Structures are given as structure tokens and as C-alpha cells.
Amino acid sequence: MAGIASRVTVCIQVVDENDNPPVFQELTYTGTISEAAPINSVVISEDGKPLVIEATDADKNHNALLVFQIVEDTAKLFFTVDSGTGSVRTIAKLDYEKFSAFYFSVNVRDSGRPQLTAEKPAKVLIRVVNINDSPPQFSQEAYDT
């Protein structure tokens, strides 16, 4: 009122809203694994490197913390997708003679509130490599001639 001015610094913190769903980098992934691979082996992609499922989320912190989930029950028994790295690992012994390939969907969600899920799941094809692990067997123990 008397022509005196004063200044203050105002600091405004913008709080991140979970307004971006995760997005898969690619919608199809292909990998191979030997039926002799021990449990906890990584599936290998076509270029010889570990198969990694990649997704991005434009938010920050928890709102961008991604969790991958395999949709199909059968595939869930054999594989898991690491949430930190996106790599696909085995959690059970494989047998080419039972399942020579797996074709399944993977969903990704973030850890924000509410949780957001990718619009479309990614499709994963894993071919099991056959190993000569079954010796020939006689169908009967004794043969009468």
C-alpha cells in the first residue's frame, strides 16, 4: 500500500497421477529352450540372447513399476516372466514328447492406484528343442517263439 514490494519463492511439487497404462514394445515374442534345460533356465530368443519381454510406462515410480503375468494356466506351470527384467524362465522340467511348443499371452500392469493394464496382451511362442532322451524299449518283456 505504501509502494513496498516483497518477493517469495513458491515451490510447487507436481504429484504424478497414474494416467499412463504400460505399453508393450512388441506384441509378439519368439524363443526356444531345450527340453534338457534345468529348472530356472532362461528362454533364448532368435538372436541367441535371453528372451526379454519389454514394456514401458510413461509415469514415475510405483505408477511405472511393472508386473508381468502369464494368462494361460498350462504355460503358467512351466514359465514365469521376471518382473524386474522381463526375462522368461522355466519353473518346471520340460518334455518335448509332452509339449513341443507353448503359445501363450502375457499381460502387464503397473503398481499404481488404480492399477492400469496394457491395452493388448503380448503373444509369446516358445519352441521346445528335442533331445534324444528316450532310449528304445521293447514293448514286451518276453517273446515266445
**Sites of contact with Ca ion (CB under 5 A):** 16-20, 57, 59, 63, 96, 110, 130, 133
SS3 of 34, please?
Answer: strand
Find the shortest distance in angstroms from Cβ 111 to Ca ion: 8
Element (H, E) at 104: strand 101-109
Nearer to Ca ion, 96 or 99 (CB): 96
Q: Which of 72, 80, 73, 69 is nearest to 22 (CA)?
A: 69
Nearer to Ca ion, 49 or 60 (CB): 60
Find the shortest distance in angstroms from Cβ 138 to Ca ion: 19
Nearer to Ca ion, 41 or 130 (CB): 130
| Torsion angle of C-alpha atoms 117, 123, 126, 127, degrees rounded to 10 | 170
Find the shortest distance in angstroms from Cβ 43 to Ca ion: 18
